[in-house]
Amino acid sequence: MTEQKTDPAYLTSDQVHAGQYEVHPDQKRHSLVARLKAGDRAAAAELVDGYYQQIYLFMRRFGHDRQTAEDLTQESFFNAWHHIGQLRDGKALDSWLYRIAANVSRLYWRRHKHKEVVGIEIIDVSAGTEDGYDRVGRYEQLDELAAAVGRLPVRLRETIVLHYMQQLTIASAAEALGVKEGTFKSRLNRALKALRKDVT
Amino acid sequence: MKEERIEELLGELAPRMIEPVRPGLGQEIKQRIPHRLTRHKIGWDTVNIIIDLRLNRSVAAAVIIVAVLVFLNVFGGRDTSGGLYQDSKLLLRYLGGVGQNDVSTGRKKYEYLQARGENVTWYGDWVNPADSNAVMMQQKLPEGRYVVTYVDGREMEVDSERLIELLSRTMRKKGK
């Protein structure tokens, strides 16, 4: 028991926050995964705290409306509890969770083929930093780009959302979609080309 | 527009495409954490594969039922000629495809067995199709045993005395 308590793999967030141990983020993830795999409910709650906003935004950026994004976020976590056996290590935590979320989202689009993509409103953060003309022009350009992303086919759209918006690395994003890195890069390329054509 | 420019704009877009998450969503998700976190390593993958294949539900159900029947017949130590036939007939009847007419279904089995060179006798042409206990067909087995098939598809292995009794009863009912 003593050994288990001192093992960083079994650190709780309270211990980490209390400053008892200086833990690297990767190590913290390893600890979280180890505890999840051991069936620790507190670890599951930590996972929710750490990721639910990201998953919600992923759903929104993917074109789901608010209510659907909330439902799909809940469903993603619900599925995650049933897929804990597939978790490998801390490094794969992000891609594992995004893979589940991407599958949930894809399944939703498949069932609701004709549902409209709902864009998330773009925040105009540059107010006051640029002159009016530049600011409006830039805002319009971003708005146009966001709309063009929404028009992409699901498979291309998910590459853009995962890599550019959720900031996943190529390797993680490819793993999240269950494809090889080469395939992911090729899809990303196609998506960029399509956006280039679509946005003037 | 150049691809580099698109990439630059996409990088700029991400921090602007945000919105506050409804307070309470995290709590709601946490409330749904099961008491025992389970580990489904293979089962759920299989389900997902079936979903991904976009199989029609009835087709998927039929495939699973047939697979189970074949498995049971191969490993269950049953006589596959009769058992599988009976089960398939039940399956087809369940799916509503064929099998409305038991006598005509039985006739097909009779023709099949006859083609295989089995010693079978057909009574289906003169029995009452509404009488489920009427003997529709008999198949001779070695050592004086017989398999009788009733109109409703049931099968029973009997000796010669019992066969005579069953046939007499069928004829008596027909006579009435």
Give chain A's domains with CATH numbers.
50-198 (1.20.140)
Task: Tell the burial category of A11 from Cβ atoms under 10 Å away from its Cβ (0-12, 13-18, 19+).
Answer: buried
Query: Do B40 and A53 count as a contact with CB atoms less than 8 A apart?
Result: no
First to last CA, chain A: 64
Looking at residue A10, what is its pLDDT?
Answer: 45
Res. A126 pLDDT band, cuts 50 70 90:
low
Report the alpha-carbon distance of residue A81 to residue B35 in Å, rounded: 10
Taking CA atoms, B166 is separated from A13, A24, B105, B106, B151, in Å, by 79, 84, 21, 18, 13
* Residue type at position B122: W
Report the alpha-carbon distance of residue A81 to residue A124 in Å, rounded: 37
More confident residue, A100 or B123: A100
> Encoding tokens for residue B32?
């749904």
- HSE, side-chain direction, 13 A CA sphere, residue A22: 0
Q: Which of B19, B32, B51 is facing A78, going by the closest CB pair?
A: B32
Per-residue pLDDT of chain B (176 residues; tens, 9 = 90+): 677 788 888 888 888 888 888 888 999 999 888 887 765 444 555 555 555 455 566 777 788 888 888 887 777 655 555 566 666 666 666 555 444 467 778 888 888 888 888 888 888 887 877 787 888 888 888 888 888 888 888 888 888 888 888 888 877 776 65
Looking at residue A187, what is its pLDDT?
Answer: 95
Report the alpha-carbon distance of residue A159 to residue A139 in Å, rounded: 23
* Residue B102 near residue B153, CB atoms below 8 Å: yes
Looking at residue A92, what is its pLDDT?
Answer: 83
3-state secondary structure B80-104: HHHHHHHHHHHHHHHHCCCCCCHHH
For chain B, list the domains and their CATH numbers. 48-100 (no CATH), 102-176 (3.30.310)
Looking at residue A8, what is its pLDDT?
Answer: 42
Calculate mean pLDDT across residues A63-91: 88
More confident residue, A86 or A177: A177
* Residue A159 near residue A189, CB atoms below 8 Å: no
Within 8 A by CB and 6+ apart from B88, the residues are B66, B69
Q: Write down the mean pLDDT value for chain A.
A: 82
Report the alpha-carbon distance of residue A110 to residue A94 in Å, rounded: 24
Residue A75 has pLDDT above 90, yes or no: yes
Q: Determine the residue of chain B that is closest to A35 in CA distance.
A: B37
Q: Determine the residue of chain B that is closest to A88 in CA distance.
A: B41
Q: Which of A37, A52, A146 is facing B26, going by the closest CB pair?
A: A52
Looking at residue A38, what is its pLDDT?
Answer: 84
Q: Which of A39, A41, A121 is facing B19, going by the closest CB pair?
A: A121
Residues of B with CB under 8 A from a CB of A: 1-3, 6-7, 9-19, 21-22, 25-26, 28-30, 32-41, 44-45, 48, 51, 54
Query: Do B40 and A83 count as a contact with CB atoms less than 8 A apart?
Result: yes
Long-range contacts of A132-141 (CB under 8 A, 24+ apart): A141/A199, A141/B9
Task: Tell the burial category of B91 from Cβ atoms under 10 Å away from its Cβ (0-12, 13-18, 19+).
Answer: middle
Q: What is the pLDDT of residues A157-184, one digit of tens each?
A: 999 999 999 999 999 999 999 999 999 9
Number of CB pairs, chain A paired with chain B, less than 8 A apart: 118
Q: Which residues of B touch A84 (CB under 8 A)?
A: 37-39
Q: Determine the residue of chain A that is closest to B14 in CA distance.
A: A165
Query: Do A125 and B16 count as a contact with CB atoms less than 8 A apart?
Result: yes
Q: What is the pLDDT of residues A131-160, one digit of tens each?
A: 666 667 778 888 888 889 989 998 999 999
Q: Which residues of A touch B38 (CB under 8 A)?
A: 81-82, 84-85
Query: Do B21 and A53 count as a contact with CB atoms less than 8 A apart?
Result: yes
Residue A9 has pLDDT above 50, yes or no: no
Query: Do B37 and A44 count as a contact with CB atoms less than 8 A apart?
Result: yes
Residue A71 has pLDDT above 90, yes or no: yes
Q: Which of B1, B25, B51 is facing A199, going by the closest CB pair?
A: B1
pTM: predicted TM-score of the whole model, two decimal places: 0.57
Percent of chain A with pLDDT over 90: 46
The DSSP letter of residue B148 is: E
Q: What is the DSSP string of B44-84?
A: HHHHHHHHHTT--HHHHHHHHHHHHHHHHHHHS---HHHHH
* Residue B14 near residue A165, CB atoms below 8 Å: yes
Alpha helices in chain A (DSSP H): 2-6, 13-17, 25-37, 41-61, 66-82, 93-111, 132-151, 154-160, 170-177, 181-198
Task: Tell the burial category of A65 from Cβ atoms under 10 Å away from its Cβ (0-12, 13-18, 19+).
Answer: middle
Looking at residue A128, what is its pLDDT?
Answer: 53
Q: Which residues of B touch A149 (CB under 8 A)?
A: 10, 13
- The residue length of chain B stands at 176
Report the alpha-carbon distance of residue A2 to residue A177 in Å, rounded: 40
